[in-house]
Amino acid sequence: MITAINLSDRRRVVTTRDPAIDPAKSDLKTYAKTLDLSALHFRPGETPTFFTIRPLAASEHDRCMQASFRIKDSTEDERGYVIIVNAARLGITKIENFPSEGEVQTFKKGLTQEVAEVIDTATSIELGQWILELSSAKTVPVDVALPALPPTPAELQQDEGK
């Protein structure tokens, strides 16, 4: 059974590139897969930047897709970049300790242009990928082999002609 996207889901996350993370004491691979903050350890006296992210509704995901096709003569990679960055702009609901320590900003309808302009690209890409993952309906685990699809009518006709 396909499960519905939980639009009320919120995750408080830190990007894996945050300088407050102590990489020697953290399990970054586990964190990147689970977003479980307990896998991270922070340097003494350092404060990370926390982002609260949420899944996108189907209509918001469609807006990201449409934005990617507005770029004429773009490659698949360029369209993917546009989708991911737009997902980050729409799916971040709160930022703590940015641009300065102790500052908290909340966003009801996505990042403001002013804030989006000062978040580095790598951070936007990482957050956007996580947001898109949260926005995906869960169907089957990635490591499960999918059954072959039945042939289409055109494929059946081709087989008959052989």
pLDDT tens per residue across span 104-121: 999 999 999 999 999 999
Give a yes or no: residue 62 inside a domain: yes
Give a yes or no: residue 1 inside a domain: no
What are the two backbone dihedrals, phi and then psi, of residue 94, each rounded to the nearest 5 degrees? Answer: -160, 145
pLDDT at position 71 is 81
Which residue range(s) make up the domain with 74?
Answer: 11-161
Give a yes or no: residue 82 inside a domain: yes
Percentage of the residues of the chain whose pLDDT score is greater than 70: 84
What are the two backbone dihedrals, phi and then psi, of residue 118, each rounded to the nearest 5 degrees? Answer: -110, 5
pTM of the model: 0.81
Q: What is the mean pLDDT of residues 127-147?
A: 71
pLDDT at position 79 is 87
- Beta-ladder partners of 21: 42
Give a yes or no: residue 61 inside a domain: yes
Q: Could you tell me if 64 and 87 are in contact, meaning their C-beta atoms sit under 8 angstroms apart?
A: yes
